[in-house]
Structure 1
Amino acid sequence: MLEDRRCVLSRGYRRTCEREDDWACMNYELGKFDAKKNGKRQLEIDGDEEVCVRKLSKQSDDCERLDLTLTLFDISVSQADQSAKQHQAGDTSDSGSLIHQIGWDNSISCLSRCSRSDYGSIASLNRSFRSVIRSSELYRLRRENGVIEHWVYFSCRLIEWEAFDPNRRRWMRLPMMASNESFKCSDKESLAVGTQLLLFGKELMSHDMSHVMSPVIYKYCILTNTWSSGMRMNAPRCLFGSASLGEIAILAGGCDSDGNILSSAELYNSEKGTWKTLPSMHKPRKMCSAVFMDNKFYVIGGIGGSESKCLTCGEEFNLETNSWTEIPNMSPVRTGVAREFDVPATAEAPPLVAVVRNELYAADYADMELRKYEKERKIWVTVGGLPERAGSMNGWGLAFRACGDQLIVIGGPRAVGEGYIEVNSWVPTEGPPEWNVLAQKQSGNFVYNCAVMGC
């Protein structure tokens, strides 16, 4: 029985399955006690969904995680079987100390080094494992040990969200959001910070017999696999720039509910759930982008001024000195092929920028070029092209993100009606840009929102 269960878990790492996982890996109710099966705890699997995993990367750390997970599973299932025998004998105590053989601290250390794709299976073993998997302490320990896995979260159907694990090349669906219809039609910004995915927008609210669109924030937590709402920042805004670093994030600029362009900024701590007002930027700006680089926060481009023109400068926020510095010509203004016609500044997407290993890159959707920012000379240089299928509408609908040590481009074809997207990847340390297709799936070909969570 033990070997059979071990094979069920390990088989998922060796096979390719085209079916999409309905977030089985985060289903904390998978393991159930069934008295009809000799009183033993069975790991229930819905078809192949729990083991529906594409071929794992050949990297040594993935192999080590697999061995660790299987060993942990062996010990835990054996322990669970022993607990079931005790249950039959009248001992109803829970096997609550995780892995008895190695103790609590070592058990937690082992769990922190397992892939979080396996946490759903591990959580199904007993209540103690489930409680630990749903604890933020486990992810704090992962950060301390340098164990970080980056997953891409994106939406191609307004409020329907999916996640993609680039290591396992596995698609997963998030639960549906319980939002009203007006939220679907509002401008939305997304941000992944810590173990949370935040989605900012507006909803139609009733106040004193009147109906107004009010800012709202929806929060998805990977610990509970649920959405919630009700959180508010100090100065609600939309069309802002944002970026995260571990458990903190900074949001800067944007517009208030009256359409006024803001220079203010706030810092969000996802572990404490607090918002802190920061000093204001030198220039108000909306529709800007933001990144963390060299442990500093940068706001790039955007629209500002009395004539609502594109800003070419950027601003750097130093967390140690709590101050802003303006940087001229930091926005990746196009220098290549001229566009056939100009579009209003407000019709273009914010700059498509991302940071890998403290190097800043930009995607020029019009000229289909990839550029890199040379920090010493403070100039942009073209380093290659974008994937052929990186179609967009003035930059909208195309996702360009850093995902660990690689750049990720998610997009569909330029032609209308082709309902699928591709995930393309390039690792800058491996030479000139050569984009590899990590995955392709049937979906809408317009990416509304995208964020990368590393935890």
Structure 2
Amino acid sequence: MLMLGEDHNGRIRASSSMPRTKKLRIHGCSKIPDLNAEPCLDWEEEEEEEREATQALSLPQDADYVLNVPQLVPELEVEILARVPRFEYWKLLFINKPFSRLLKSGEIFKVRRERRLVEPSVFMLSIGDTRWTMFDKDFENFHKLPELPSDSCFLQRDKESLCAGTHLIVIGKEDEGIALWRYELETSKWFKGPAMITPRILFASATCGTVVFVAGGMKIDENGTVEVVNRAEKYDSETKTWTLLRGMHKRRKFCSGCYLSGKFYVLGGRDENEQNLTCGERYDEGTDSWEIIPDILKDMSFSSSPPLIAVVGDDLYSLETSANDLRVYNANARAWKKLGDVPVRAKSSGGWGVAFKSLGDRLLVIGASAGPSRAETMSVYTCRPPADGKEELRWEESKRCCDVELNHFILNCCVMIA
């Protein structure tokens, strides 16, 4: 049993009934490390930095305070740390080398998944920003990711973003072709690859735990020839590999995806002849087969952007940009029901620049506020859609939003559950 108390000098000490203890000295630290300080982009320098930190701690200095910390078996350490709020993990990197290695091993995140301790985080890139921002689920904490070390072509062009496990995947076009970059939460660093089997842009995607499914999109060869594809594949963040899946019935680009009731859904988009598609398709991984869903979007208006869809529980929701309202799909009636207005100006931009995602048991929408202020900074709203669809739709604004001011035009947004 671990107990904390003050000695006669006013220092904090920890005592334990366990006979085996280890003394940890934390030497004079002038300031707490900044959560938003940019991490090193060169991962080859990491070991050298750790060696320098270890040498610094071994110098004879006066300790600010002393802790008698009992040694814990590694399994127990992981179980304890898995229950620490994830936005506190950055602090572990500054405790000591073993804690840093434990975090980077990914074992903590594996236990979090097994114990169902995962929590959502929102990754976002707005226009004019060069670095991604990560927010916690309540938008009370944030962290600036290191700059993505790609070329100017990649940074300035449109990109696709998706999450699998602890990986943020960003795909776009570099000077030499379509490239994939991944940000790993364990190390807070960017890595290039692995490339898709069929590199493409403007595709549909949906996350299921540690894997993400992709389908459709536009393939661009070395000569600049564009091909609309029906190809599908999935990425496994634990093995960092792509696996080829059976292709869809139809070629489609500008489509959207979601994971619903154990299946990967792809909705809308345009075919190789630039015709709008009202049908959807759903993929069953068990049988490696696709099923056409006829006219699922027949009552929806079409805009230049992909459909804005999200899943909460077992329900499929859509942000109808032409009317700026929220709708839910009734699978039995094969019809969409209007639930109420959405508090952002999705209509003015044809759906572009607006983020519409599921955030646990809530819906999340980010964009330019539809209120009287019409500020040019982003507004963040969430709501728990009524179970029966009969109650009034109530959106809650995240007014603090970590005191971060980002442009209201959201280029990319995705949610990571880890």
- Please report the TM-score for the alignment, with normalisation by the length of structure 1: 0.74
Alignment check: 8 A CA contact 1:267 1:276 kept: yes
Aligned residue-pair number: 369
Instruction: Please point out which of 139, 152, 156 is paired with 2:122.
Output: 152
Measured in 1, the distance between the counterparts of 2:87 and 2:73 equals 24
Any conservation in 2 of the 1:34–1:40 contact (CA below 8 Å)? no
1:377-399 CA distances to partner (integer Å, 9 max, x unpaired)? 22111111101455651100000
Question: Which of 15, 19, 22 is the aligned partner of 2:36?
Answer: 22
Match of 1:78 among 67, 70, 83: 67
Cα deviation, residue 368, structure 1: 1.0
1:66 alignment partner in structure 2: none
Equivalent AA in structure 1 for residue 123 of structure 2 = Y
Pair 328,445 (structure 1): closer, same or farther in 2 beyond 3 Å:
same
Name 2:325's counterpart in structure 1. 369
Question: Which letter does structure 2 place at the counterpart of 1:396?
Answer: W
C-alpha displacement at 1:412, in angstroms? 2.0
Where 1:122 maps in the other structure, the secondary structure is: helix
| Alignment correspondent of 2:134 | 163
Cα shift at 1:152: 0.4
Cα distance, 1:111–1:26 mapped onto 2, change above 3 Å:
farther
1:334 aligns to what SS in structure 2? coil
Gapped regions of structure 2 (runs ≥ 5): 13-33
Q: In 2, are the aligned partners of 1:25 and 1:118 still within 8 Å (CA)?
A: no
The alignment partner of 2:349 has SS state of coil
Indicate whether 1:174 and 2:109 are aligned: no
Deviation string, structure 1 residues 247-291 (Cα, Å, up to 9, x no partner):
111110001102111011011111101111100101110000000
Q: Offset of 1:24 from its aligned partner?
A: 8.3
**Identity of matched residues, %:** 32
**Structure with higher helix content:** 1
Equivalence for 1:442 = 405
CA–CA separation in structure 1 for the residues paired with 2:277 and 2:142 = 38
Query: Offset of 1:109 from its aligned partner?
Result: 0.9
Distance 1:332 1:452, change over 3 A: farther
Residue of structure 2 in register with 1:209 after alignment = none
Question: What is the distance in 2 between the residues matched to 1:312 and 1:320?
Answer: 26
Structure 2 SS opposite 1:119? helix
Q: Please, which moves more after superposition, 129-138 or 286-295?
A: 129-138
Residue 241 of structure 2 corresponds to which residue in structure 1?
274
Cα separation, 1, equivalents of 2:39 and 2:194: 27
Give the equivalent residue in structure 2 for 1:242: 205
| SS state at 1:113 partner | coil
State the partner residue of 1:59: none
The whole-number CA distance in structure 1 between the counterparts of 2:62 and 2:131 is 41
Q: Following TM superposition, by how much is the alpha carbon of 1:105 offset from its aligned partner in structure 2, in angstroms?
A: 1.6
Report the alpha carbon displacement of residue 349 of structure 1 after superposing the two structures with TM: 0.8
Is contact 2:346-2:352 (8 Å) kept? no
CA deviations 1:83-124 (Å, max 9, x no partner) are xxxxxxxxxxxxxxxx51x42222211111211111122332
Partner residue, 1:188: 159
Does structure 2 conserve the Cα–Cα contact (< 8 Å) formed by 1:253 and 1:286? yes
Does residue 309 (structure 1) correspond to residue 299 (structure 2)? The answer is: no
Q: SS of 2:109's equivalent?
A: helix
Post-superposition Cα deviations, 1:322-362, rounded to whole Å, max 9, x if no partner, equal 11000012237437xxxxxxxxx6x6110000011121100
Separation (CA, whole Å) in 1 of partners of 2:331 and 2:39: 41
Residue 212 of structure 2 is aligned to residue 198 of structure 1: no
Provide the residue aligned with 1:17 in structure 2.
Answer: none
Aligned position for 2:287: 321
**Which of 368, 371, 380 pairs up with 1:412?**
368
Higher strand share: 2
Structure 1 residues 106 and 446: CA distance shift in structure 2, 3 A: same
Conserved 8 A contact 1:315-1:326: yes
Pair 1:425–1:2, CA change in 2 (3 A): farther
What do residues 399-448 of structure 1 show as CA deviations (whole Å, max 9, x unaligned)? 00001111110112479994411111001257532110124442212100
Unaligned runs of 5+ in 1: 7-19, 42-76, 81-98, 206-213, 336-344
Match of 1:300 in 2: 267
Secondary structure class of the residue paired with 1:133: helix
Per the alignment, do residues 351 and 326 of structure 1 end up closer, same or farther by CA in structure 2, a change over 3 Å counting?
A: same
Measured against aligned partners, the alpha-carbon deviations of 1:217-269 in whole angstroms (never above 9, x if no partner) come to: 11111111011214211111111001111111111000110211101101111
Aligned partner letter, 1:145 = R
Residue 329 of structure 1 aligns with an amino acid whose one-letter code is D
Higher mean C-alpha deviation, range 124-133 or range 30-39: 30-39
Evaluate the alpha carbon distance shift between residue 454 and residue 425 of structure 1 in structure 2; reply closer, same or farther with a 3 A threshold. same
Instruction: Please say if residues 159 and 170 of structure 2, whose CA atoms lie closer than 8 Å, have aligned partners that are also in contact.
Output: yes
Secondary structure of 1:320's counterpart equals coil
Q: 2:344 matched to 1:382? A: no
Contact 1:190 1:200 in 2 (8 A): yes
In 1, the alpha carbon distance for the partners of 2:369 and 2:62 equals: 54
| Inter-CA distance 388–186: structure 2 relative to 1 (3 Å threshold) | closer
The answer on whether the counterparts of 2:367 and 2:380 sit within 8 Å (CA) in structure 1 is: yes
Name which of 218, 224, 227 aligns with 2:187: 224
Is the Cα–Cα contact under 8 Å of residues 158 and 448 in structure 1 kept in the other structure? no
**Mapping of residues 279-290 of structure 1, within 5 Å:** 279-290=246-257
Q: Report the more deviating stretch, 113-122 or 443-452.
A: 113-122
